[in-house]
Chain A
Amino acid sequence: GAGVSQSPSNKVTEKGKDVELRCDPISGHTALYWYRQSLGQGLEFLIYFQGNSAPDKSGLPSDRFSAERTGGSVSTLTIQRTQQEDSAVYLCASSLDVTGYEQYFGPGTRLTVT
């Protein structure tokens, strides 16, 4: 079946521009997560959505970062006024709406801010 998809796969943007990254989770998965993986670093939790509950935004690094999830499915991560330190691979994952279930990851969006 279809896995988690993300678009674009690569994005190069100039410092100060806004970018939107998209994630399509696996159908039927109600939990959706965003992570950031900087070069040579681990995964940094950004935000998660679970069903109709308020999202856990505790990992967002600054107010330039925001995310929404429409209709309980597709999610968009928006970075405003991008900075060079925002350059990273942004990973999306989804899981079943049961605690303890593993996450299924998308291929990621590689963001480069010049």
Chain B
Amino acid sequence: AQSVAQPEDQVNVAEGNPLTVKCTYSVSGNPYLFWYVQYPNRGLQFLLKYITGDNLVKGSYGFEAEFNKSQTSFHLKKPSALVSDSALYFCAVRDIRTGGFKTIFGAGTRLFVKA
């Protein structure tokens, strides 16, 4: 069965510093990987995805993520954090071999960016 782990409940970073939000996954086949963001009082929004090809994918708002097959990780990164990046971030995985459209989300990581 597919699963996703976000080992940090919360990440704190100062504005202007680089940020990393960690995600590891487990699937029996090849994964489709996603990051979504939930701003306060707003719905979940898609940030970026890895389907195939280049391991480094770029998404909205300057975010990027690197797919590492050997470490089964898909960490979210941004070179310079903004206060407005403070939100709840979810990693998600779909097992394209067995899971069809079923998508499993991690528990979420709350990012606090301090001015």
How far is B104's CA from A99's CA once the two chains are assembled, in angstroms?
Answer: 14
Q: How many A-B residue contacts, CB cutoff 8 Å?
A: 61
Knowing A41-B107, A42-B105, A43-B90, say if A102 contacts B34 (CB, 8 Å).
yes
Shortest beta-carbon distance from A87 to chain B in Å:
18
A50 contacts the other chain (CB 8 A): yes
A108 contacts the other chain (CB 8 A): yes
B96-114 contact mask (Cβ, 8 Å, vs A): 1 or 0 = 1000111111111000000
Q: Is the interface of A mostly helix, strand, loop or mixed?
A: strand
How far is B99's CA from A31's CA once the two chains are assembled, in angstroms?
Answer: 14
* Interfacial chain B residues near A58, Cβ < 8 Å: 102
Residues of chain A at interface, number, CB under 8 A:
25
Binding site for A on B (CB under 8 A): 6, 32, 34, 36, 43-46, 49, 51, 90, 92, 94, 96, 100-108
* 9 cross-chain CB contacts under 8 A: A35-B105, A41-B107, A42-B90, A42-B105, A45-B105, A99-B94, A100-B51, A100-B94, A102-B34
Q: A59-B102, A104-B46, A105-B43 are in contact. List 20 more A-B contacts (CB 8 A).
A: A41-B107, A43-B92, A44-B105, A45-B103, A45-B105, A48-B101, A50-B101, A56-B101, A56-B102, A58-B102, A91-B43, A99-B96, A100-B49, A102-B34, A103-B36, A103-B46, A103-B103, A105-B44, A107-B43, A108-B43
